[in-house]
A and B are shown apart, each in its own frame.
Chain A
Amino acid sequence: MEVPPGPRKNARGLKSPMRLYEYEGLDIFEGFGIPVPRRGVADSTEDALLIAGEIGYPVVLKAQVLVGGRGLAGGVKTAETPEELEELSASLLNSEIKGLPVHKLMVCEKADILNELYMGITVDGFSGKPVVVVSTEGGVNIEETARTSPDKITSFYCDPAFGFFPYQARMLLRRLGLSERLLTLFADVLVRLYRVFAQFEALIAEINPLVVLKTGYQGGLLAVDSVIEVDNSALSRIKRPMPELTERIENPLERKGREIGVTYVDLGGDIGIISSGAGLGMATMDIIGERLKPANFLETGGGITEELLYKCMELVMMKSDLRAIIINIYGGINPIHEGARGVVRYIKEHKVKLPIVAKALGNHQEETWEIFRDGGVHVITEAPTEKAVERLYELVGEE
């Protein structure tokens, strides 16, 4: 079964982490004493030239996009001269990397690399522990290394209440065969990275590559890249200035979803979906996806009110060429009768003619059905979502 094309985002969107740009991550690293290159951020070629002039050529231009695999996708270039920089910068700033527009470039000094190391810390879902991963073979092929040379990678599962100490870092790195000065330098950076991970409540904090310089520079190591994803649920208590999450959502409909407090993913089809949970929404897509195409994924989570579903209708209806809407909600924690009032208020105020199918079960179901029927909604009172999708086919026909 093929996944339809379209923007690729996690269906549990509100739970998906806030990603920091590489330059934001490097600023954080610097604040935690991790050696980083001289650099600047430019949103125009003029600014890029000014920054490069201060750093001195050659410089590396790095497209700032929130997606992995940037290097292999052509988002990193070296400029030897101002002329070259002008040309590269102009083309990068007008480009897209894996479907994301490049708004900013980071201009940084070109490191004199002896070799590349890797360190990353992430949350392991199954064990529920932070896991520290290190390798002596960093760079773009690190996942390949994990498959082909597992002896060059090692990991350590931390006790989340205990934290991660320098002795543990040294023990871990000895397993990779590191010794002497490199071991102590690497361990020092690793412990600092763990502090970033803990204090920013990160789901991932990664340096790839951490380069070993040919010439000694701030002790011989340099973090030339950063990946940080911060847990959305912790944003309000992180005691450091953080960028505004909503602002970095590119798609305007998805941004509006975030603003009203629901997970909205924009898709290519023409059937609107409103569901009261991520799992139910995904199942609805699975069932629709056999024969029709979803226009969006929307899930409310446990926060349904009359106002919220009114706004959800508004959001789903913003999509042009919609053919029908399917509403799939359960009354467990959600007062679905209140939600139904919001939907019907929207229908009446905007004289919506589009076919709308609603399956609603659970607490207050009878009241909910009555309200929906009053608004001309096709109500399904049986549990299988398949029944609701069948009704949808009857109403709109297949493609």
Chain B
Amino acid sequence: MSILIDDNTRVIVQGITGKIGSVQTRWMVEYDTKVVGGVTPGKGGSTVEGVPVFDSVEEAVEQTGANASVFFVPAAFVLDAFYETVDAGIKLIVVVPEHIPVHDVMKIRAYALEKGVFALGPTTPGILVPGKGKMGIMPGSLFSPGRVGIISRSGTLSYEFAGILSEKNIGQSAVVGMGADPVVLSNLPDILKLFEDDGETDAVIIVGEVGGMQEEKAAEFIANGMTKPVASYIAGRFSPQGKRMGHAGAIIRGSAGTVKGKCEALGTAGATILKSPIEVLDWTADKDIH
């Protein structure tokens, strides 16, 4: 069984009638994802790409047996839509939109944790399981089925790594966008654990970036007994850093956040550090991953 998306995953698209929602629904359907319905309040009864649209998530679940949802809801309405989706019993939610207020993200994260919902995003390209389906905006042509897992904070870099591997016929078991916001709904170690426990994944690539402490926490997870090989690229070695105001962040985070610190933490935990994306091919050759 692949992680997050398998043959039993029945997806609804929230915000399906919007410009992005309808286009992306077409791509998801073309990628053979089981898209069983869509939700846009006030547009119930219509169809998009042959998919029935409902006014509420509750109704969509009743009518279609949906168990997963992908969001193309405008940022200002995500808080309400997320609570609605959790209350309708859906256990997997992918929040694609960017620019969602951080105070809203903190609330929906707390609610998802309380209700046992696995959620990704915001500002995520979503999940793609080659050959099984995708929830989100990842362009299917760059991916191919195989046994390498990819987790990326950046959407575009998840495509870059999948593309580099696919060109050399190294396939992926699943590609997961963690989301690029300061607060995300699932953290890096949560996703790493899915790959560690997955029988279809042999090795994992972590694509991180400067800032925050996700990679440092992932390093702790690896050091505490991860058995599969991990390679990591951290973007931002040459990026200008923000001028800092205030002290609270530095007091609680200490020295976490720099590319150097992240590479050291991950390297010490046993991960292979990639200085540049293309070096991933040296790693797969070295570890005989194919």
Contacts and interface: CB of A to CB of B under 8 A. Distances in A.
A286 B278 CA distance: 12
Contacts of A232: 99
A398 B7 CA distance: 52
Interface residues of A, number: 85
Contacts of B180: 12, 15, 278-279
A68 B107 contact: no
Interface in A182-230: 198, 201, 203-204, 206, 208, 227, 229
Interface in A281-308: 282-283, 285-289, 294, 297, 301-302
Interface of A is mostly: mixed
A56 interface: no
Contact of A8 (B167, B183, B217, B240): B240
B3 interface: no
Interface string B170-189: 00000000001111110100
Given A131-B252, A286-B238, A277 B156 contact: yes
B48 interface: no
Contacts of B99: 14-15, 232-233
B164 interface: yes
Interface stretch (A27-35, A79-87, A103-111, A358-366): A358-366
B85 to A, nearest CB: 17
A204 B98 contact: no
A204 B248 contact: yes
Nearest to B136: A332
Given A201-B102, A383-B163, A16 B110 contact: no
Interface string A268-280: 0000000111111
Contacts of A383: 142, 159-160, 163-164, 166-167
A332 B242 CA distance: 28
B239 A297 contact: yes
Given A282-B239, A384-B278, A122 B155 contact: no
| Interface pairs A-B: 8 shortest CB-CB | A279-B154, A383-B163, A277-B156, A120-B248, A289-B238, A362-B139, A280-B156, A10-B242
Interface of B: 20, 24, 27, 75-76, 96, 98-103, 105-107, 109-111, 125, 137-139, 141-142, 152-157, 159-160, 163-164, 166-167, 180-185, 187, 207, 209-214, 217, 233, 235-252, 254, 260, 275-278
